[in-house]
Amino acid sequence: MSVHTEHKPVIGFSCGDVNGIGIELILKVLNDSRILEICTPVVFANNKALNFYRKSLLDININFLITKDLSKISHKQMNLFSCWEEEIEITPGVMNDLGGKYAVISLSAAAEALKAGKIDGLVTAPIHKKNIQNSNFKYTGHTPYLKTLFGVPDVVMLMTAENMKIGLLTEHLPVKDVAAYITKEKIMLKLQLMHQSLRKDFGVSKPKIAVLGLNPHAGDEGLIGKEEIDTIKPAIKDARQKDMLCFGPYSSDAFFARGQYEQFDAVLALYHDQGLIPFKSLSLGEGINYTAGLKGVRTSPDHGTAFDIAGKGIADETSMRQALFTCIDIINNRLEYEAQRANPMRKMSRSVVANAVDEKISED
């Protein structure tokens, strides 16, 4: 059950690694009181952790309603869902087990709230893939964790900016394993999820999706690898037969160098760096990460914990702010998408009646 009010959605923030830049970014974004005009923010953390950054580092004066009951949040001010009570030692810029432990506590509470419909969207601050590992959390990042939590067959890590969207077939997979992972079925599933997301989440009625090749020059007609011929082209053909406008495979160097990505609504890259290098180079600091394929809406900034600048008060909140705005936009796009498709028989009946009335008037 959604908690979306008539005017604005409830957006949760997981705090990320408490020794990274996550809390700093959240506070900088929420320091603008106009945020309350478009959403109701809920930070999943601890008051002492927020105060550490709010008072000693940033000198930001934000009043939070502290609660352990999401049904009692205030829609007129910032909210803090208290995830833990104990006081912990925060050491900005230091990667340690403590930072990972409380990052997982915050993420778990926020993600469960999203799954239960107690919040409408979730913006996740950065975590570090190494220090989050424990007996209960053995995921390489947010995306596989959320896929498992929501119990869906697959999701797409979709990097999103105003000028491009790049989805990944494989995420945090060693390069040596990429070729073996690629199958026609996996490509098809990612393309279907991207197609659905572009229509439902971004309002693109007839999405055009480009697929990149795996090998240099997209295989050069089989001279430099057979994956394009044996796997990628058949997947694209099957996708087109299912009324998806998919094209390729394209040689990734020329595809981005010549600006071909501008002709498409999204691009499917086959491995992490193939998609992330051009995205971070060309998205001009406004890129974010979106998990397509979930019932809930989750976004995040497109960068990591940045331990090298943590605690210095100089972290740029642009991507975190854009992650919030995109989260809200997707929630509203979904509502509009559902409203347009609600009660189609009723709409058709009304159309039939209207036509009958028009014909009657014409006859008279």
Q: Would you list the domain boundaries of the chain?
A: 1-152+294-353, 154-293
Cis peptide preceding 41, ω within 30 of 0 = no
Residue 36 is predicted with a pLDDT of: 96
Residue 67 is predicted with a pLDDT of: 96
N- to C-terminal Cα distance for the chain?
Answer: 50
Q: Which two tokens stand for residue 271?
A: 């491995």
Q: Find the Cα–Cα–Cα–Cα dihedral 160, 256, 215, 234, rounded to 10°.
A: 70
Q: Find the Cα–Cα–Cα–Cα dihedral 296, 195, 125, 68, rounded to 10°.
A: 0
Whether 336 shows a pLDDT value over 90: the answer reads yes
Whether 354 shows a pLDDT value over 90: the answer reads no
Q: How far, CA to CA in Å, does 165 sit from each of 39, 156, 283, 362?
A: 25, 11, 9, 50
Whether 357 shows a pLDDT value over 50: the answer reads no
Higher pLDDT, residue 271 or 6: 271
Whether 59 shows a pLDDT value over 90: the answer reads no
Mean pLDDT of 112-137: 95
How many whole angstroms separate alpha carbon 292 and alpha carbon 340? 21
Quote the pTM value: 0.89
Q: State the pLDDT confidence band at 4, using cuts at 50, 70 and 90.
A: low
Phi/psi at 2 (5° precision) = -75, 145
How many whole angstroms separate alpha carbon 38 and alpha carbon 35? 6
Mean pLDDT of 228-255: 96
Q: Which two tokens stand for residue 315?
A: 């972290």
The 10 Å CB-count burial string (b at 16+, else e) for 176-193 is eebeeebebebbbbbbbb
pLDDT 10s digits, 162-220: 999 999 999 989 999 999 999 999 999 999 999 999 999 999 999 999 999 999 998 88
Whether 148 shows a pLDDT value over 90: the answer reads yes
How many whole angstroms separate alpha carbon 11 and alpha carbon 359? 50
Domains 1-152+294-353 and 154-293 in one fold: yes
Structural contact between residues 210 and 260, judged by C-beta atoms closer than 8 angstroms: yes
Q: State the pLDDT confidence band at 363, using cuts at 50, 70 and 90.
A: very low
Q: Which two tokens stand for residue 103?
A: 């990052």
Residue 284 is predicted with a pLDDT of: 72
Q: Which two tokens stand for residue 86?
A: 């104990």
Mean pLDDT of 334-342: 90
Fold of 1-152+294-353: Isopropylmalate Dehydrogenase (3.40.718)
Residue 293 zone, left/alpha/beta (φ > 0; ψ -120 to 50; rest): left
Please report, rounded to a whole number, the percentage of residues in the chain having pLDDT higher than 70. Answer: 92
pLDDT 10s digits, 301-322: 999 999 999 999 999 999 999 9
CA angle 68, 69, 73 (to 5 degrees): 105
CATH number of 154-293: 3.40.718.10
Residue 364 is predicted with a pLDDT of: 45
Please report, rounded to a whole number, the percentage of residues in the chain having pLDDT higher than 90. Answer: 82
